[in-house]
Amino acid sequence: MIGWGYFSAVSSLGVDDFWKSQIALIPVQLGAVIYFTYLRWYTHKSSGELNPKLKKLRKS
């Protein structure tokens, strides 16, 4: 429902088609950045806790 409203609002903008496509992809890009940042943070956090030798290697 939210996606439908967002894409309806973007399609009614009075800008060039290129910029409409760029604006329409912003939520997808932000979602990917947030997902991969969280995934990287979570993976590094859990690997450091499970393997103390790996934690020592990162410090040096």
Domain extents in the chain: 25-60
Predicted TM-score of the model (pTM): 0.50
pLDDT tens, residue by residue, 7-60 = 788 778 788 888 888 888 898 899 999 998 888 777 666 655 555 655 666 665
Could you tell me if 21 and 10 are in contact, meaning their C-beta atoms sit under 8 angstroms apart? no
d(CA 8, CA 11): 5
pLDDT tens, residue by residue, 20-29 = 888 888 988 9
Q: For residue 5, what are its two tokens?
A: 């409203």
